[in-house]
């Protein structure tokens, strides 16, 4: 058997199956199901018995089959065990059957494969690496393929990636020019013999690194040349591609691995408590085993004449040893086998309540709230820290161009018909763009001076809008003459291109080599030489173009701090002026970008392009080498100005934040925006207030500066006039409540990078925790995750991260609970989240209503569950002292079997599903009701011990009250009233009534379901007891029902 070695790089030849088969690449058959008809039973049972509780009860069942130590029939354990195994098995089988059906449907899809010089219809499962396949419009892509050619000009094609990232907007992919010429010529495609050397299979959807070798030339390949499995071809009649990854090695399937399981604090506590209960069970077994040994030596010896020992019994110590195992069996119900199944049922129910909540449905987006996990509901009632993105989470992420700074002059002030500035936009005159036949009628602007500057052909103004029209990745679709529709991957880009369109710099079309604009009514085509892509690390994007006059320019836009660092020295004065304008814009809550350009020398460009081609065709460290070249090119820039885009707050954000603050939930905002923009939004959200004692801004550019600023802020807040030592200071108590409501901390990305170093991270956390509001601006996605991890590491508090974009995914996965907003930036955050909804304001309902109720219900359920199990089981312990420690059972064996699965299961489930201490209106009105969950007051080790002590006391009374009442009582004929059956039925009936009364007392909110389950279960107990204690069943099955009926003669 061949064993496939670890893949370092992949070699694939087109139309060469024999060559590709040597590498043992995966075929295109997928299998996500775990079982088949033969393997289901053994594999599923093996998986289930890996759970400690199931394995424990299996051992008990085996012990019960040993007659020397078992006083209970095997069915008392096997019935609940089989019930749990069957319920779980049916669920697993159902889930796996759906996976199997889905696999079969996908594997049997058909695709056209080029084989033997002809196109043949093949099932997807038969497609192989290196095959060339044909796709038609609206078809799913069968595998990860390299786009070779398409029906569209220049080898372009459009795809929808909803199955990959949830986004429904169309994306563009583009074939290499040399392969695009192959077209749909079957003969040329059949003789295509190119070889691709690329990265090995991985799960990075947005990255591909490879090189095509063909006709003694090398061509760089990236993600824009790839069509991934799961995409759908749209608006493209046909396309051809070469299979690079197939089946389980495709990027879609590589992303199907199980995500890290998040466990709640209650889960962890339950595991600890079950271990304690098991230890308590062993202790009781030891006590009763010792009691048996002593009793046999001192008392039992007197009855040996007619109570003879079995042959295998040698002495009293061995009798005690056997008795230990007997009591482990008889007391096993103290370890609750049905607990975990019951907990999962409750969590599933709580998740459906979230999904069904119409008050969390957004009609505008036609999207309801969704619980994407069932394991974290009660943790929603214990959140202490919320980490929120700003753009698209607190704001609408619907961008509109509002203001600009061009060559030191600002445009965009709202003016009336006389040109005077006004504060009320309704009193201003909207600019008339009718002079431009291609303008967007939905766009509005209120400063006529910018239109006049365009019409006067001011060079800087024209260059400003030319940059906006050229430097982007937007795709244009002209549905009819002059009716342009822009497909933008981010709202920012769409807003800026739309602004340029209205000011007569209209982006009309693009090809792989050109961009066509409509400038002042004239069509102008620019040669596109290079695109220097935007990334979260670069925080900028650039394009290199050649205009019709032959001039070559680099146009760049990005974060002001990044652009300003790369400006030519001659821009110093203009930079200071523009910076003032940027601060004004940010103070109004506007999002800003800086714009710059550079004139390029032809010789330098050619030399740089050679380096770019070389870096683009290497496999290893391609990104680093490209980043170095981009950095080299983006130097000596000339500043053009800056843009300001408005992004309004979502509805209900200030009220939501205020209510969450009253619930003592700390909200930290982590954003990539400017400090001034973030501060303005902070005031709008009521996170920052004028009545705060002080707002600390940490902006140190070195570790030492950041340390001094953080220490100064901490000293100020704690009111310390002097500090003995740095060590003492770091250990100063930061839990003073009187400082929390008075201060705010704002820290920028540079300072945060230093503050997250190991030597400063605790100082950062201590200082931040003294503040009511914490805002981190200019942060990267990785820094967001690091901040969340810092709080998790040192505070031990439940954290929640909420965001709407791909840059929020890392913090969403890092937090205990991740919430995704289905906004304007695609669905990446939603797909990575545990819960999702359409607007930030629904967060208060998720936490204060659903979260608090889930925590309250789960805690009440667990307290009662442990109470009733201890009350039920410990009666056997007391009885041991009165039966010679013989492991005799108090109850009828059928009662033991049915107690947890029939008599008491439904009432406690009803309480766990429907109970409420207060209604939802009062949950909003009194947010402080949320605090017990944060302090973990409703179920903890103390509450567990109180419940078990109550169960212990109940069992004591249930045993000794009937015993005292019946032990000396006699009938009229002088015979004793009490015998084992009577005593057993009295204790069992008392137990059922007492635990039912207890759940009646514990239930705060009664529904029809509660009444049905509580009183119905009680009625079922009496009905079954009457049947089992009558002589009818005894006469039919005397061995299964050994108790003689009360009416039996």
Q: How far apart are CA 194 and CA 100, in angstroms?
A: 36
Cα separation of the two ends of the chain: 75
**Catalytic: 603?**
no
Q: How far apart are CA 1021 and CA 988, in angstroms?
A: 10
DSSP per position, 956-1004:
HHHHHHHHHHHSS-B-TTS-BS--HHHHHHHHHHHHHHHHHHHHHHH--
Q: How far apart are CA 635 and CA 113, in angstroms?
A: 49
Query: 885 with 295: CB under 8 angstroms?
Result: yes
Q: How far apart are CA 590 and CA 654, in angstroms?
A: 18
The residues, any chain, with a CB within 8 Å of residue 974's CB and separated by 6 or more, are none
Beta pairing class for 694-698 and 743-748: parallel
Q: What is the DSSP letter of 477?
A: E
Angle between helices 316-330 and 52-64 (to 10 degrees): 130
Query: 576 with 563: CB under 8 angstroms?
Result: no
Q: Which helix (H) or strand (E) holds 355?
A: helix 339-355
Q: Is 671 exposed, middle or buried (0-12, 13-18, 19+ CB in 10 A)?
A: buried
C-beta atoms surrounding 802 within 10 Å: 28
| 3-state helix/strand/coil string of 112-159 | EEEECCEEEEEEHHHCCCCCEEEEECCCECCCEEEEEEECCHHHEEEE
Q: Strand, helix or coil at 58? A: helix
Beta pairing class for 232-234 and 171-174: unpaired
Residue 889 phi, psi (nearest 5): -85, 140
Write the CA distances from 326 to 321, 322, 603, 796, 871, integer angstroms: 9, 6, 93, 42, 20
Q: Which listed residue (165, 389, 560, 915) is catalytic?
A: 389
C-beta atoms surrounding 527 within 10 Å: 14
Query: 837 with 425: CB under 8 angstroms?
Result: no
The residues, any chain, with a CB within 8 Å of residue 741's CB and separated by 6 or more, are 772
Question: What order of strands is seen across the sheet that includes strand 798-803?
Answer: 370-371, 835-837, 817-821, 798-803, 383-388, 666-670, 773-777, 743-748, 694-698
Beta pairing class for 210-214 and 195-198: antiparallel
Q: Is 607 exposed, middle or buried (0-12, 13-18, 19+ CB in 10 A)?
A: exposed
C-beta atoms surrounding 828 within 10 Å: 23
Q: Strand, helix or coil at 657? A: helix
Write the CA distances from 995 to 6, 905, 987, 1000, integer angstroms: 61, 11, 12, 9
Q: How far apart are CA 977 and CA 674, in angstroms?
A: 86
Query: 487 with 169: CB under 8 angstroms?
Result: yes
Q: What is the DSSP letter of 849?
A: I
Write the CA distances from 154 to 182, 514, 721, integer angstroms: 11, 10, 71
Which positions are catalytic? 389
């Amino acid at each position: 058997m061949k064993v496939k070695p670890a893949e370092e790089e992949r070699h694939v030849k087109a139309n060469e199956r024999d060559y590709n088969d040597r590498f043992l690449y995966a075929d295109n058959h997928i299998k996500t199901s775990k079982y088949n008809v033969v393997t289901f039973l053994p594999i599923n049972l093996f998986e289930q018995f890996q759970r400690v509780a199931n394995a424990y009860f299996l051992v008990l069942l085996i012990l019960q089959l040993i007659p020397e130590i078992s006083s209970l029939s095997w069915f008392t354990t096997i019935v609940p065990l089989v019930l749990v195994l069957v319920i779980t098995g049916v669920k697993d089988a159902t889930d796996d059957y759906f996976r199997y059906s889905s696999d079969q449907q996908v594997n049997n899809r058909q695709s056209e494969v080029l084989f033997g010089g002809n196109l043949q219809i093949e099932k997807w499962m038969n497609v192989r690496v290196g095959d060339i396949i044909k796709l038609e419009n609206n078809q799913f892509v069968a595998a990860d393929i390299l786009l070779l050619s398409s029906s569209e000009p220049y080898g372009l094609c459009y795809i929808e990636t909803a199955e990959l990232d949830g986004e429904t907007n169309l994306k563009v992919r583009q074939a290499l020019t040399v392969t695009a010429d192959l077209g749909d010529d079957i003969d040329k495609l059949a003789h295509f013999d190119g070889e691709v050397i690329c990265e090995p299979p991985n799960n990075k959807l947005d990255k591909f690194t490879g090189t095509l070798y063909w006709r003694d030339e090398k061509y760089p390949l990236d993600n824009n040349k790839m069509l991934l499995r799961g995409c759908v071809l749209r608006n493209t009649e046909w396309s051809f591609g070469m299979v690079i990854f197939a089946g389980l090695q495709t990027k879609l399937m590589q992303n199907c691995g199980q995500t890290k399981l998040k466990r709640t604090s209650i889960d962890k506590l339950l595991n600890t408590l079950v271990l304690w209960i098991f230890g308590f069970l062993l202790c009781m077994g030891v006590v009763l085993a010792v009691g048996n040994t002593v009793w046999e030596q001192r008392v039992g010896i007197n009855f040996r004449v007619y109570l003879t020992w079995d042959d295998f019994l040698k002495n009293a110590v061995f009798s005690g040893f056997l008795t230990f195992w007997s009591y482990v069996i008889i007391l096993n119900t103290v370890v609750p086998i049905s607990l975990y199944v019951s907990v999962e049922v409750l969590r599933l129910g709580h998740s459906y309540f979230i999904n069904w909540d119409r008050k969390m449905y957004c009609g505008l987006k036609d999207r309801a709230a969704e619980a994407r996990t069932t394991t974290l509901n009660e943790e929603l009632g214990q959140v202490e820290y919320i980490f929120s993105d700003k753009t698209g989470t607190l704001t609408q992420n619907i961008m509109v161009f509002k203001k600009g700074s061009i060559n030191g002059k600002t445009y965009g002030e709202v003016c009336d018909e006389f040109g005077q500035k006004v504060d009320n936009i309704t009193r201003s005159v909207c600019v008339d763009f009718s002079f431009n036949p291609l303008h967007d009628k939905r766009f509005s602007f209120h400063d006529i001076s910018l239109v006049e500057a365009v019409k006067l052909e001011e060079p800087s103004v024209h260059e400003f809008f030319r940059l906006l029209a050229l430097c982007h990745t937007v795709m244009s679709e002209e549905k009819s003459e002059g009716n342009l529709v822009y497909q933008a991957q981010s709202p920012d880009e769409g807003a800026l291109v739309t602004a340029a369109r209205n000011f007569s710099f209209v982006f009309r079309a693009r090809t792989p080599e050109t961009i066509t604009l409509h400038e002042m009514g004239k069509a102008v085509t620019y040669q596109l030489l290079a695109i220097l892509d935007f990334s979260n690390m670069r925080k900028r994007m650039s394009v290199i173009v050649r205009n019709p006059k032959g001039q070559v320019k680099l146009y760049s836009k990005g974060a002001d701090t990044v652009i300003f660092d790369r400006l030519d020295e001659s821009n110093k004065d203009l930079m200071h002026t523009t910076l003032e304008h940027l601060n004004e814009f940010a103070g109004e809550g506007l999002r800003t970008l800086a714009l710059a350009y550079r004139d390029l020398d032809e010789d330098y460009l050619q030399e740089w392009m050679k380096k770019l081609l070389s870096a683009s065709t290497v496999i290893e460290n391609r990104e680093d080498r490209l980043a170095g070249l981009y950095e080299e090119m983006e130097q000596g820039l000339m500043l053009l100005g800056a843009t300001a885009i408005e992004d309004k707050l979502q509805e209900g954000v200030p009220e939501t934040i205020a209510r969450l603050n009253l619930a003592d939930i700390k909200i930290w905002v982590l954003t990539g925006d400017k400090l001034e923009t973030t501060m303005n939004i902070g005031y709008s959200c009521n996170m920052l207030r004028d009545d705060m004692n002080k707002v600390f801004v940490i902006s140190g550019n070195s570790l030492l500066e950041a340390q001094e600023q953080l220490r100064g802020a901490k000293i100020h807040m704690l009111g310390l006039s002097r500090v003995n030592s740095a060590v003492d200071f770091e250990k100063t108590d930061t839990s003073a409540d009187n400082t929390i409501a008075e201060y705010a901390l704002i820290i920028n990305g540079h300072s945060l990078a230093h503050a997250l170093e190991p030597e400063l991270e605790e100082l950062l956390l201590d200082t931040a925790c003294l503040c009511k509001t914490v805002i981190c601006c200019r942060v990267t996605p990785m820094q967001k995750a690091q901040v969340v991890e810092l709080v998790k590491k040192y505070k031990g508090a439940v954290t929640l991260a909420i965001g709407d974009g791909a840059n929020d995914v890392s913090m969403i996965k890092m937090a205990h609970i991740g919430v995704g907003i289905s906004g304007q930036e695609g669905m990446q955050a939603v797909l990575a989240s545990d819960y999702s909804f359409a607007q930030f304001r629904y967060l208060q309902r998720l936490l204060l209503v659903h979260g608090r109720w889930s925590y309250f219900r789960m805690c009440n359920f667990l307290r009662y569950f442990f109470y009733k199990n201890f009350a039920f089981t410990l009666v056997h312990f007391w009885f041991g002292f009165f039966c010679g420690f013989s492991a005799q059972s108090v109850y009828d064996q059928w009662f033991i079997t049915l107690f947890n699965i029939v008599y008491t299961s439904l009432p406690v489930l009803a309480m766990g599903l429907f109970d409420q201490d207060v209604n939802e209106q009062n949950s909003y009105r009194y947010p402080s009701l949320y605090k017990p969950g944060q302090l973990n007051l409703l179920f903890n080790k103390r509450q567990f011990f109180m419940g078990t002590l109550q169960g212990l006391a109940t069992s004591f009374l249930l045993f000794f009250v009937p015993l005292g009442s019946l032990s000396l009582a006699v009938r009229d004929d002088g015979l004793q009233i009490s015998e084992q059956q009577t005593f057993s039925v009295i204790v069992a009936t008392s137990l059922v009534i007492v635990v039912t009364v207890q759940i009646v007392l514990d239930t705060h909110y009664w529904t029809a379901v509660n009444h049905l389950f509580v009183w119905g279960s009680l009625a079922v107990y009496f009905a079954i007891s009457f049947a089992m204690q009558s002589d009818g069943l005894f006469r039919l099955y005397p061995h299964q029902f050994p108790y003689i009926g009360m009416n039996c003669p």
